[in-house]
Amino acid sequence: MEQKKCKGCGMSMDEPSDYGLSNIESIYCRYCVDEDGNYFEHGELLKAMTKKNVFSMGIDIDIAEKVARQNLENDKNGKTLADFGGINIFDMTM
Model confidence pLDDT, tens digit, residues 20-44: 999 999 998 887 888 888 887 766 7
> What are the extents of the domains in the chain?
4-91
DSSP reduced 3-state for 4: strand
Looking at the whole model, is its pTM more than 0.75?
no
| Distance separating the N- and C-terminal Cα atoms of the chain | 32
The pLDDT of residue 73 = 64
Read off the pLDDT of residues 66-85 as tens digits, 9 standing for 90 and up.
888 787 765 555 444 444 44
Looking at every residue in the chain, the average pLDDT score rounds to: 75
Q: Is 13 helix (H, G, I), strand (E, B) or coil?
A: strand
Parallel, antiparallel, or unpaired: how do β-strands 12-13 and 4-5 relate? antiparallel
Return the percent helix, strand and coil in the chain, to nearest 5. 45, 10, 50
Would the pLDDT of 86 be above 50? no
For residue 34, the Cα-to-chain-centroid distance in whole angstroms is 11
